[in-house]
Amino acid sequence: MANSLFAAALLLSPVLGAPAPAPQAPEVTTPASFGPDSQISASVQPSTSGYRVEVLVNGYTSATYHGPYTGTPTTVGAVPGPTTIGASIPAQPLNPTATYYNTEGVPLNPMPAPFTPAGGLGTNGSLPRYMVNSDFDFESIALGLYQEWIELDLFHDGLVRFTDEEFTAAGLGPEARSLIEFMADQETGHSTLLTNMLGERAPKQCVYNYPYTTVREWVDFMQRVTRFGESGVWGFINHLDSREVGQLLAQSIATEARQQQIFRQMSGLTPMNVWFENGWPQSWSWTMLAPYISYCPENTTRLAWQNFPTLHILNNANINRYSPNDTAQDGSETVGRRIADPSVSNITGSCENLNVTGYGCGPAIAHNKSEPLSFPGKKVLFEWEGPGSAVGPNNSYVTSTSAGAPKFVGWSQQLNLTYSPLTVTGNNSGYTYQPEGFVYDNEGIINGTMAVMLTDLDLYVTPFNTSLLNPHIVALGLYQAG
């Protein structure tokens, strides 16, 4: 492959909150010398990033502009194909070749080589080709590259925007900032990898417009962005025609999963609260990503995916409250009206600096919540936009839906897509009650940072065919369940 990138691993101390005093502090011995620096040779390599940056006095780099697009789009809508065959893809019966079932517990077919059971894809010894191999592959990996580009910029931006004092006040010391900087460096590798697998028409880095004004809001926003970045890949990775591309993509998205967990820890959320991560169709993640892209360079490759109207969750739990049930019911505790905007952090009743078990939410390895962010039976209030809004790069994409009137709320999490009835109360407003359901045993389905949607049909879908629901989605939102 054209440009291989190897990243050295950093060993950093975990991010800790404000723990209770230990019974006895351990005795610490400081070495008199850490050894000569000249034992290992090293060379600083120049950056290969193509976006405009400036170096700030604190040593961090960032793009020179973040803000809204102010021009007039010259192209409008998702990129089309030569023709469109149908309005939707109909559900089909079980694949007739999916018949294998092993009742013996031993290999049933001749082995092609020692210790090599028959079957598998890409196992016949052919030379791997690490390039996209279909329109589906190209559009999916191009979407992934748009995601990697914004993360590269986003992770750097807060390091530049906020002062050391602001980070310290938010409970994030120099080691935490160093970890975030390393995660930004990871995105250089990810964007390089995806660019190489796409070729000459790979999308370039764009200019972005972010919603946060505090360190807490920045970190909260990053845990939401990495959520739809990760879930958006799990949704399509096993549908790729190129198994080779899927292999390398899995190795990068495993890193993204770790980033999402770390940002949850820095936000004072439980790092892991589900048994299975959820996969989303590409149009869901593109709907969540596009509103934060202001404009892109001329002739940047456009995407074919749909942008759904936004579903606003008016009482989405404020993660900064020690009593999340006190979150306002009118949407005022979200910093803006875009789909993945973080919780407002400057509030009365904040848990940020509260050193009380079950209620504090400062950065920590883990927190238990005495009062959960959500629960089965919670009344969830909605407002939703109609189609036709200009979003995304250069305001050149338009939200759309082919669904009828909304009747259900879909909750996509873990291995399930669960529905609850929608009660419409006015013009594009309504409510539902958060349903109860279990994956296995007593593991509740709804938790974490997850997708919710209004639909005109309670269509039965499973993790491998969730995109069949797209024609029935009225509006899409991001729910902070836990």
**Listed residue (430, 395, 432) closest to 70, CA to CA:** 395
Q: Which tokens hold the place of 122?
A: 């890409």
User: Rounded to an integer, what is the distance from CA 187 to the centroid of its chain?
Assistant: 13
Q: What pLDDT shows up at residue 21?
A: 38
Q: What is the DSSP string of 96-126?
A: TT-----SSSS--S--SBTTB-S--SS-SSP
User: What is the distance between the alpha carbons of residues 295 and 16, in angstroms, rounded to a whole number?
Assistant: 38
Q: Quick one: pLDDT at residue 120?
A: 92
Euclidean distance between CA atoms 146 and 301, whole angstroms: 10
Helix (H, G, I), strand (E, B) or coil at 469: helix
Q: What is the pLDDT of residue 296?
A: 95
Per-residue tokens: 49: 């990033």
Q: Quick one: 30 exposed, middle or buried, by C-beta within 10 A (0-12, 13-18, 19+)?
A: exposed
The span from the CA of 174 to the CA of 19, in Å, is 18
| H/E stretch holding 423 | strand 423-426
Residue with tokens 């390895």: 365
Q: What is the pLDDT of residue 55?
A: 55
Contacts of 304 (CB under 8 A, 6+ apart): 78, 79, 80, 81, 135, 139
The reported pLDDT for the residue numbered 154 is 98
Residue 392, φ and ψ in degrees, nearest 5? 80, -170
Burial of 76 (0-12, 13-18, 19+ CB in 10 A): exposed
At residue 53, the pLDDT reads 52
Angle at 475 between CA 473 and CA 480, to 5 degrees: 115
Could you tell me the two tokens for 235? 């949704």
**Predicted pLDDT at 69:** 83
- Nearest alpha-carbon partner for 17 in 448, 367, 482: 367
**At CA 368, angle to CA 364 and CA 374, rounded to 5?**
115
- Backbone φ, ψ for residue 383 (5° rounding): -135, 145
Question: Do 51 and 63 touch, CB atoms closer than 8 A?
Answer: yes
Q: What angle do CA 372, 374, 379 make, to 5 degrees?
A: 140
Rounded to whole angstroms, the Cα distance separating 262 from 272 reads 10
**Residue-level pLDDT, tens digit, the chain, 482 residues:** 433 332 332 222 333 233 333 334 334 334 443 344 333 333 333 433 334 455 555 667 777 789 888 888 877 888 788 887 878 888 888 888 888 989 999 999 998 999 999 999 999 999 999 999 999 999 999 999 999 999 999 999 999 999 999 999 999 999 999 999 999 999 999 999 999 999 999 999 999 999 999 999 999 999 999 999 999 999 999 999 999 999 999 999 999 999 999 999 999 999 999 999 999 999 999 999 999 999 999 899 999 999 999 999 999 999 999 999 999 999 999 999 999 999 999 999 999 999 999 999 999 999 988 899 999 999 999 999 999 999 999 999 999 999 999 999 999 999 999 999 999 999 999 999 999 989 999 899 999 999 999 999 999 999 999 999 999 999 999 999 99
DSSP letter for 326, please: G
